Amino acid sequence: MTKKKLSLMLVLMLLVGLMASCTPAAEETPEGETPAPSGEAVFINVATGGTGGTYYPLGGAIAKIFNDNIEGVTANAQSTGASVENIGLVSTGETEIAFVQNDVTYYAWTGTESFADSEPIKNIRGMAMLYPEVVQLIANADAGISSVEDLAGKKVAVGAPGSGTEVNARQLLEVHGMTYDDLGKTDYLSFNEAANNLKDKNVDAAFVTGAIPTSAVTEITQTSDIVVIPVDSAKIAEMIAKYPFYTEVSIPGGSYRGNDADVVTPAVMAMLVVPEDLDEELAYQMTKSMFEKRQVIIDTHERGNDIKLETALEGMPIDVHPGAQRYYDEQGIE
């Protein structure tokens, strides 16, 4: 071999070595994390509700679970106007997962009630059923309100525009033969706004649909005397007959300061909704991590105790996302 050829071979070998050393090594998945479906950064917005409700802290806990357990995922909880708004965010692809009341989800799916003026929304899928959403009617103790009928002529906060609370308020009044026209004043306020207006006596009563206890209501009791108004069981039965998603529940005495007796009232269910076109593997990992790291949710809010794998499909009003369904199938959940 000539010196010229030998020199050329040495140069080529040197170049190959340099290229190999410059090629980045494949990154290993940190222990305990599952690779993101595409191997690329994935952003997940968790649409919740008002910061004074239950959706927001639970959404933050779920976002933490995703961040800590699905590699490449950046998740954050987003405060919204709750159920009806969240359906819109999911259906238009503006959020990847959202808290929604199951009755509102059904209305969107069938094009009824709040969605009667639009086409049925079919590009949404269910991920999991969560916990009871209790319809709470809270009144100032000195407002002279002890029943739903006593709301006549009063100033009442009925929930944020486009919220499940507002739907519940309207339907509860309906079975009592009342409409908003029977109220002295109707205010469409979020949980926090309603709480502030109750404390300032700008409203006499407020509807709040959420888990027990709801932080906005607890906050009111720190400085104001309130009463939780019971609903007659016969009226709840009328609601159930017309709107099957309702159920009768009891708010345990002592849930809020100054309210020591159990209070009967209607409730619906909270659930998680995702877009139909959400990546199947991502939906699988989201469902799996949420249930297998559920303690994070429990540590954040006591309603986390109600989020159970065995009840994840009970009362599901729409089709389940295939990714979530794959996890349930693996776990034998029907």
Sole residue written with tokens 């950046």: 74
- Return the half-sphere exposure (C-beta side, CA atoms, 13 A cut-off) of residue 182: 13
Q: Alpha carbon of 200 to those of 183, 197, 216, 283: distances in Å?
A: 19, 5, 14, 44
Give the model's confidence band at 31: pLDDT under 50 very low, under 70 low, under 90 confident, else very high.
low
Give the pLDDT of residue 253: 97
pTM beyond 0.85: the answer is no
Joined tokens for residue 86: 């969240």
Q: What is the mean pLDDT of residues 119-123?
A: 97
Q: What is the mean pLDDT of residues 61-88?
A: 96
Q: Are 284 and 326 in contact (CB under 8 A)?
A: yes
Backbone torsions φ then ψ of 250, nearest 5 degrees: -125, 125
Phi/psi-derived region of residue 61, left when phi > 0, alpha when psi is between -120 and 50, beta in every other case: alpha
Give the pLDDT of residue 201: 95
Q: Check pLDDT > 60 for residue 269.
A: yes
Domains annotated for the chain, with CATH where assigned, are 42-130+271-331 (3.40.190.10), 133-269 (3.40.190.10)
Q: What is the mean pLDDT of residues 298-318?
A: 93
Give the model's confidence band at 38: pLDDT under 50 very low, under 70 low, under 90 confident, else very high.
low
Give the pLDDT of residue 25: 40
Amino acid present at 72: G
Q: Check pLDDT > 90 for residue 14.
A: no
Q: Check pLDDT > 60 for residue 17.
A: no
Sole residue written with tokens 């961040």: 67
Give the pLDDT of residue 37: 62
Q: Alpha carbon of 266 to those of 148, 168, 238, 250: distances in Å?
A: 13, 9, 11, 8
Q: Alpha carbon of 29 to those of 33, 43, 194: distances in Å?
A: 6, 18, 46
Q: What is the mean pLDDT of residues 30-39?
A: 57
Q: Are 159 and 83 in contact (CB under 8 A)?
A: no
Sole residue written with tokens 């238009």: 92
Backbone torsions φ then ψ of 33, nearest 5 degrees: -105, 145
* Top-confidence residue, 5 or 53: 53
Q: Check pLDDT > 90 for residue 21.
A: no
Q: Are 83 and 308 in contact (CB under 8 A)?
A: no
Q: Check pLDDT > 50 for residue 156.
A: yes
